[in-house]
């Protein structure tokens, strides 16, 4: 495996951990439920660790844009599926703009690691 592939694998793991932590944040009920709160903290720590591994190779600005953008999309999807939180059209337009930005970065930026 190349170091770029490893970095993107770490970034993908960071995203999955962050989305899981965000879902647990909802379940923690403002930190009043100890087990979801503890699990949430552990997943956020794991997410930041995996992100720190990714930025050894991927520039921070690129990694963070991908982490944030993909994380927003997946969190919105998880929120819809698990918590039945429905987005309005403005939210979908905003998410589409975020997706567009991540695509532009990955396809056209000279800063992206390939």
What is the token pair recorded at 24? 């647990």
Overall number of domains in the chain: 1
Q: How far is CA 49 from the centre of its chain?
A: 13
- Asked if residue 112 is part of any domain, the answer here is no
- pLDDT at residue 43 tops 90: yes
User: What is the domain range of residue 65?
Assistant: 2-106
Q: Is the separation of the CB atoms in 57 and 7 below 8 Å?
A: yes
Q: b/e string for 46-70 if b means 16 or more Cβ within 10 A?
A: bbeebbebbbebbeeebbebbbebb
- pLDDT at residue 114 tops 70: no
- Asked if residue 111 is part of any domain, the answer here is no
At residue 48, the pLDDT reads 97
Residues in the chain: 114
Average of per-residue pLDDT across 36-40: 98
- pLDDT band (50, 70, 90) for residue 109: confident
């Amino acid at each position: 495996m190349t170091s770029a592939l490893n970095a993107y694998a770490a970034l993908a793991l960071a995203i999955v951990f962050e989305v899981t932590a965000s879902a647990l944040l909802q379940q923690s009920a403002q930190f009043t439920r100890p087990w979801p709160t503890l699990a949430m903290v552990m997943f956020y720590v794991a997410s930041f660790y995996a992100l720190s591994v990714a930025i050894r190779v991927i520039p921070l600005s690129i990694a963070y844009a991908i982490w944030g953008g993909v994380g927003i999309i997946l969190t919105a999807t998880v929120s819809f599926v698990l918590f039945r939180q429905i987005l309005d059209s403005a939210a979908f337009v905003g998410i589409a703009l975020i997706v567009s930005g991540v695509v532009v970065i990955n396809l056209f930026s000279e800063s992206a690691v390939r």
